[in-house]
Amino acid sequence: MPTWETRFYSIQDTVLLAFLYGGRMINDLNLLDITYVVFDLETTGLYPNSGDSIIEIGAVKIQNGEIIDRYNELINPGIILSSEIIKITGIDNKMLIDKKGEEQCVKNFMKWVGEMPMVAHNAKFDISFLDMAYSKYGLGKIKNIVIDTLGLSRYLESNQKYHNLSTLAKRYNIPWNEDEHHRATYDSEGTALIFYKMLKKLELNNIKYLKDLCRYSFIVIRKS
């Protein structure tokens, strides 16, 4: 599997962040040739700035339309989950009693991710929890490229009203079980398969390279 490498180049006193992938510069990367980490989080609530935290991380690595690796970890948040969160996620307090805390789990996950581009549905929500974890535990800043499939769907299907995962699974003919929805790994797998089909549509729209996609800030919500 090709690996990412980050280098800094100084040109006329301007520092440019350049990504190398298998020895190629970012401008040379075809969207269909990249290995992506597609992830999803389950949390204690909606507001990381108000004390909510992560209780599950699920992710897959997808390459050429195939899922080549999976990641899943439950997290002990140190509090009792609300009945609403238990109902939505299917995760209860007993499942979390013997699990590691958020700091270690986030470290484990980001080590697994490395410098690969990250993809999520409504990515601003998920990345906000990872950003907060990095801030709380003094881990620095997340520098990965982050792509949002919600923004991508709105771009590709601007005539459609709904862009939730269940709707997109049907639209792109991806197998989907509502009973499994809202578990992190299941949602990340579905998102990954939807994302790959979206990339194929982008190619038809002559958006073939990562540099082309990065022009759309509502799709690539973080460039580095």
**175-207 pLDDT tens trace:** 888 666 667 888 999 999 999 999 999 999 899
Rounded Cα distance, 71 and 2, in Å: 19
DSSP-derived 3-state class of residue 57: strand
Sequential DSSP letters for 177-212: -TTTTTSHHHHHHHHHHHHHHHHHHHHHTT--BHHH
Measured in Å, how far apart are the chain's first and last C-alpha atoms?
21
Rounded Cα distance, 41 and 2, in Å: 26
> How large is the average pLDDT for residues 95-102?
98
**150-173 pLDDT tens trace:** 999 999 999 999 999 999 999 999
DSSP-derived 3-state class of residue 35: coil
Cα-flanking dihedrals φ and ψ of residue 77, to 5°?
A: -85, -10
Taking only Cα atoms into account, the Rg of the chain, rounded to an integer number of angstroms, comes to 18
> How large is the average pLDDT for residues 34-58?
96
> How large is the average pLDDT for residues 76-82?
97
Q: Are 151 and 126 in contact (CB under 8 A)?
A: no
pLDDT bracket for residue 211 (50, 70, 90): confident
Mean pLDDT estimate for the chain: 88
Length of the chain: 224
Rounded Cα distance, 177 and 163, in Å: 17
- What are the Cα distances from residue 121, in Å, to 89, 147, 164, 168, 191? 16, 8, 8, 11, 7
* Percent residues over pLDDT 70 in the chain: 85
Give the residue from 147, 124, 126 showing the smallest Cα distance to 35.
147
Q: Are 180 and 91 in contact (CB under 8 A)?
A: no
Bin 14: left if φ > 0, else alpha if -120 < ψ < 50, else beta. Answer: beta
Rounded Cα distance, 201 and 188, in Å: 20
The 10 Å Cβ neighbour count of residue 6 is 12
Query: What tokens were used for 129?
Result: 């929890």
pTM: 0.88
Q: Are 62 and 36 in contact (CB under 8 A)?
A: yes
Domains and CATH numbers, the chain: 31-222 (3.30.420.10)
pLDDT, residue 185, reads: 86
Rounded Cα distance, 169 and 147, in Å: 18
Tell me how far the alpha carbon of residue 197 is from its chain's centroid.
16
